[in-house]
Amino acid sequence: MSEKFENGTAPATGEGTAPILRVEHLKKYFPIKRNFFGRPVAFLRAVDDVSFQVEAGSAIGIVGESGCGKTTLGRTILRLYETDGGEIVFHGDNITKLKRKGMQKYRTEMQLIFQDPYSSLSPRMTVGAIIAEGVRAHHIVPREKVHDYVLEVMKKCGLQPQYYDRYPHEFSGGQRQRICIARALAVRPKLVVCDEPVSALDVSIQAQIINLLKELQTADGLTYLFISHDLSVVKYISDQIMVMYLGNVMELGGTEKIFEEPLHPYTQALFSAVPVPNPDVKMNRIILEGDIPSPANPPAGCKFHTRCSRCMNACRFLQPKYTEVGEGHFVACHLYDKEIAADAERIDAEYVEWLQGQIAAAKKFAQKEPHLKELERMRPDLYTKWLSDALLSGKRPLAGKKVRAHLFEELERMDAEEYARVKACENPAKGEEEDSDA
Ligand code: SF4
């Protein structure tokens, strides 16, 4: 089965069950540059058109490298950040535009467990007071029953009753994370966003906390949005996995399917790093070259194309659409897009046209800038380097030797005269360096 959806619109896996959370085309951009009048003119696209849904009582694992937008996504869903587009539907209610007062009703139902149990607990409050604070504020139980209720929650989370009057600094990291979990669960949430809840803990304590989260999920029917970069932990706790890169979803599907057969080249590289507990199995590690590009100036087309070993012409200028490659398994990659495969010739012709447009735009821009004109006259080698950079994406600095090689190849194909000039500029400079070395 192969079905295609607009980018970012992946329907839920397991049709027929009402989702507790539906996120559609969610965007969160942070302004990084403002003009004279204070209006933002450049943005960091932390979450860029993300869609998914989660069924009640299940867990979705969100994975990706640091800076891919996982944490921002979690916090935007909890409405700790204002959205810049898209919708968040919780329990059938659209909560995207709710103001502070309107959100109050949902605050107890959506909770967050932080990464760092050391800094997320007030050092001046006792454990009992920390857990009871939300219970009192949201009138979870009658005032006279708060003490007993807090003790009950503490017991459920593996905290002894004598800890009630102690302070957070008296506890180890694992115990503090249990206090954070107890605080979140005390207000009877339906959805818990776990933002790297075990990454600051020792491995042995990690297992205890993960087991506790699993037990609580079974007992209370909780839904988890589990953010982590530890794939083994995500595999253990999640029913679905969503792989993010530069604010976009690259692959989404059932945990087993994704671990057995990751399809997106980025997922394959990410999962190839998971150790296999079998000495006879040879690890086939895929090393990604280059750094993750800046989300403030992402590459055109597929955002992963600057690091993908299977990059094609289409990847450099067309954004991939979601393709359903199996039941509930979605991937955003041109390799699985039948239209792209069937129309390779037309795509290549369009790419050449697009590249010509990019070269023309870069040259036009260069001509408008007096300092660049001057640069061309004084240092044609640097000017050409800037022009090559500009071909990729605006004024982004050159990203790696491979990209540079590709640009020169393209330049030769598109504009032989310019290419000859570039080469002529490069070689004398090299020659000069060699002379000076000698
Ligand atoms: S769309 Fe192209 S560049 Fe992106 S992951 Fe697929 S093959 Fe690689």
Please report the pLDDT score of residue 111 as a whole number.
93
If one counts every other C-beta atom within 10 angstroms of the C-beta of residue 124, the result is 9
Ligand 1, atom nearest to 320 Cα: 1
Is the pLDDT score of 388 beyond 70?
A: no
340: Cβ below 6 Å to ligand 1? no
265: Cβ below 6 Å to ligand 1? yes
131: Cβ below 6 Å to ligand 1? no
Structure confidence at residue 397 as a pLDDT band (50, 70, 90): very low
Structure tokens at 401: 């030797």
Mutate to test the pocket of ligand 1, among 333, 336, 348, 406 (most ligand atoms within 8 A of CB): 333
Span from the CA of 309 to the centroid of ligand 1 (angstroms): 8
pLDDT 10s digits, 365-387: 666 655 556 656 666 666 666 66
Mutate to test the pocket of ligand 1, among 302, 303, 317 (most ligand atoms within 8 A of CB): 302
Please report the pLDDT score of residue 383 as a whole number.
66
Is the pLDDT score of 429 beyond 50?
A: no
- pLDDT higher at 377 or 201: 201
Span from the CA of 36 to the centroid of ligand 1 (angstroms): 39
If you take atom 1 of ligand 1, which residue's CA is the nearest one?
333
Least confident of 40-49, 177-186, 265-274, 350-359: 350-359
- Give just the sign of the alpha carbon dihedral 154, 159, 165, 169: negative
Structure tokens at 263: 């399809």
pLDDT 10s digits, 12-55: 444 446 789 999 999 999 998 888 888 888 889 999 999 999 99
pLDDT 10s digits, 329-347: 999 999 999 888 888 889 9
- Confirm if 415 and 423 have CB atoms less than 8 A apart: no
Span from the CA of 434 to the centroid of ligand 1 (angstroms): 39
Structure confidence at residue 7 as a pLDDT band (50, 70, 90): very low
CA–CA separation, 120 and 63 (whole Å): 23
Mutate to test the pocket of ligand 1, among 267, 310, 317, 402 (most ligand atoms within 8 A of CB): 310
Structure tokens at 182: 């107890």
Average pLDDT over residues 199-205: 79
Average pLDDT over residues 146-175: 92
Ligand 1, atom nearest to 315 Cα: 2
pLDDT 10s digits, 73-86: 999 999 999 999 99
310: Cβ below 6 Å to ligand 1? yes
335: Cβ below 6 Å to ligand 1? yes
Q: What beta strand segments (E) does 255-401 contain?
A: 322-326, 329-332
Is the pLDDT score of 169 beyond 90?
A: yes
Report the b/e string of 336-354 with b at 16+ CB within 10 A.
bbeebeeeeeebeeebeeb
- Confirm if 130 and 164 have CB atoms less than 8 A apart: no
Ligand 1, atom nearest to 314 Cα: 2
Structure tokens at 347: 């795509």
Mutate to test the pocket of ligand 1, among 7, 248, 334, 337 (most ligand atoms within 8 A of CB): 334
Is the pLDDT score of 433 beyond 50?
A: no
- Confirm if 304 and 296 have CB atoms less than 8 A apart: no
Within its chain, how far is the Cα of 93 from the centroid? 25
105: Cβ below 6 Å to ligand 1? no
Span from the CA of 319 to the centroid of ligand 1 (angstroms): 9
Residue whose C-alpha is closest to residue 59's, from 105, 95, 13: 13
CA–CA separation, 32 and 120 (whole Å): 27
- Looking at every residue in the chain, the average pLDDT score rounds to 82
* % pLDDT > 70, the chain: 77
Is the pLDDT score of 318 beyond 60?
A: yes
Average pLDDT over residues 259-276: 88
Structure confidence at residue 192 as a pLDDT band (50, 70, 90): very high
* Helix, strand, or coil (residue 135): helix
Q: Is 426 exposed, middle or buried (0-12, 13-18, 19+ CB in 10 A)?
A: middle
Please report the pLDDT score of residue 272 as a whole number.
85
> What letter would DSSP give residue 308?
-
